[in-house]
Structures are given as C-alpha cells and as structure tokens.
Structure 1
C-alpha cells in the first residue's frame, strides 16, 4: 500500500531543490561552516553537511558522542542547581538607548540591561561550580553510535552520532560519505563502529589530555 504522505514529501523535496539550488563545493557537498580557525588537533563536537541524492537534498546533522555527553553534563548541572530565583534580569528593567535623527526624531540604537541580583549571581556561581565538578568527574552515561532519518518538506534530514573528527572539508566529506552509505544500505553503524561506547572513561581521558 502506498504512503501518500511520504510520496508528497518526496515531490515537495524535489520541487524545492529545483527552485532553490544549493551552493555545492567541488566535491558536490553543501558546507555551511568555515574551518579557517580550526586547529588540526582539536576535538570535534558537531557539524552539518549536505549533498544531493536522487534529485533530493540530504542534510546531515552530525554530533560526536563527546558533544552528546557534554550536553548531558550541562543538563544535569541545571537539574542539580535547581531553578534559582525568578529574576529575568536580561529583560526586566532594560533601558532603551536612543540617537537623535534630525531635530525632532530619534531612533533606537541599543538596549542596556541591568545587573543580575545578588541571589541570581549566587545561583550562577553554584551552577558553574556544579558544572566544573561534573566535568572533572564525569557522569554515568554511555553514548552509542546512532542515526535517524527524518523526511522534511525541503530535504531528508539525518541525525548522526558517530566518533569522527571533523576539522576540515576533507574530514567533513567522510561524514557525508557515511551518511550516504547508510541511506542506501551499503553499510551499518555496527559494521563501521563495532561495539562502540563513549562513557565516563573516555570523557575523563579527553579532559585530562586537554588540560595538559
């Protein structure tokens, strides 16, 4: 039985691509980010890359497992710190700054926010200390290699979590190649990264190496 919704999405993807062509590099990849300031030995966290498959756009949202692990540490830090005082200092009490335009008119040029309260400052300090402790100690979490496909009306999105390093366009092309091979069934993550797990030991090891 045909899935009319999926067929509609496929047609919409192809129509969108025809009307809004991507700027692709010489390898046929959409590269949204620059690597001019990326060190060749840096530890990667996330990136995006796109390519064309069967006349449709594929956009890959890649994360290294260490980025997923680090995000989990941030979330746990907020949980342990608690909600804190209900003091929206970024918006409440904002001062609007104007600049004169002519004799009788003026325009908004900037906003000045007030300082956070003492209670809010104390909460931020507690949050920072908790995050520093969890970053040094690690948390009980294991991140597996995974991927998930999502059909959008303009592209097929691939959420990909794999232990690759992406510091230049050559390494980014490896992410695109893996995503393409996964899509067409030429490989699996178990074949590419058999038994892979990223956990506390890997996190602490990288933290100690970065501190040297």
Structure 2
C-alpha cells in the first residue's frame, strides 16, 4: 500500500523543480560555495551540494566527522562552564543609530550593542579556557560515518557524515556521487569506509593542521 504523504511529497518535489530554476554548474551540480580561498591541503568541515535525479532535486548537507567532534567539544565546554548569567547584552540596552530620511525625519538603520556585564565577560573567559583545554587534550567521543534521508516538499535531503575532504569542485562532486549511490542503494557507508571511526587520536593528529 502506498504512503499517501510520501507520494504527495514526491509530487510536490517534481512540481517545484519544474517551476523553479536551479543554478547548476559543472557536471550538473548545485554548488553554492566558492573555493577561491581554500588551501589545497587544508582540512574540510562541511559543505552543501545538489543535483537532479529522476526529475527531483537532491540536496546534500555534508559534514566531516571532525566537525561533529568539534561540536561535541563545544557542548562539553558549555556543560563544564555551567549556567550563563543570562545577560542579554546583544539586545537589551542597545543604542539606536539613525539616518536622515527627509527634512525633518530620520529612520533607524542599525543598533549598537552595549558591552556585556562583568559577570557575563567572566563567563565567556571561563568558557574559552575550558574549550581550549578540551581541544588540546581531546575528549572521549567516537564519530562514525552516517547518512539520513529526509523528504522535503521541494527536494530529497541527505544529511551525510563522511570522512572526505572538500577543497574544490571536483572533490565536492565526489560527495555528490557518494550521496547518489547511497540513495540508489548501490553502496553503503560500511563498504566505502570499513571500520572508520573519528576520535581523540584523529583529532590530536590534526592539531597542527587546524592551527595552520
């Protein structure tokens, strides 16, 4: 028995693709980012890429396992730092900046935030110290490749975590190809990256590259 909701989403995806232009580049790929400032041997963190398959758009949100690991360090830093003083200095007490809009009128063009409170500044300092310590020694966290499919009303979304480096369009094309093969069930992450796991050892081995 067909899933009516999934069939409706599939129809909406095709309709959206027919009625909305998609900016495709080399190899029929949607490439939203530039690599002009990317070092050829640098570390990659995340990227997006899109392509068309059977009249529907596929959008891939790719992350390297090191980004998941780095996010885990940030999360543990927040836990160790404890509760923030909750000083809403970015919005509360900000100064309005005006621009003339006529002979006797003016309009708000921006806001200047006030400085954070002493307690908030101390909290940020504490958080930075904890984050630096955890980044230097690493944490107990293992990140394996993963893939999650999500039907949207305009595309099929693929959240992909895979140990690939993306520093140019050709390397991004490899991410798109992997996503396509996973979607078509032509391969699996275990086949592509057998036994791979990113953890403390990998994080510490990349320390010099991250600093550069």
TM-score normalized with structure 1 length: 0.97
Conserved? CA contact 2:57–2:156, under 8 Å:
yes
Q: Which SS does the other structure have where 1:58 is aligned?
A: strand
Q: Which SS does the other structure have where 1:180 is aligned?
A: helix
1-side partners of 2:101 and 2:61: how far apart?
A: 45
Is 1:154 the counterpart of 2:159 in the alignment? no
Across the aligned residues of Structure 1 and Structure 2, the Cα RMSD in angstroms comes to: 1.1
Q: Which SS does the other structure have where 2:99 is aligned?
A: strand
In structure 2, runs of 5+ residues without a counterpart are none
Q: Which SS does the other structure have where 2:111 is aligned?
A: strand
- The residue that corresponds to 2:17 in the other structure is 17
Report how many aligned residue pairs link the two structures: 212
TM-score normalized with structure 2 length: 0.97
Q: Which SS does the other structure have where 1:13 is aligned?
A: helix
1-side partners of 2:46 and 2:4: how far apart?
A: 34
Residue 173 of structure 1 deviates from its aligned partner by: 0.1
In structure 1, runs of 5+ residues without a counterpart are none
Residue 99 of structure 1 deviates from its aligned partner by: 2.1
Is 1:27 the counterpart of 2:27 in the alignment? yes
- The residue that corresponds to 1:173 in the other structure is 173
Residue 86 of structure 1 deviates from its aligned partner by: 2.0
Is 1:103 the counterpart of 2:75 in the alignment? no
Match runs of 1:79-98 below 5 Å? 79-98=79-98
Is 1:66 the counterpart of 2:66 in the alignment? yes
Q: Which SS does the other structure have where 2:206 is aligned?
A: helix
**Per the alignment, do residues 2 and 210 of structure 1 end up closer, same or farther by CA in structure 2, a change over 3 Å counting?**
closer
Conserved? CA contact 2:149–2:157, under 8 Å:
yes
Deviates more, 1:120-129 or 1:99-108: 99-108
Residue 211 of structure 1 deviates from its aligned partner by: 4.0
**Per the alignment, do residues 141 and 42 of structure 1 end up closer, same or farther by CA in structure 2, a change over 3 Å counting?**
same
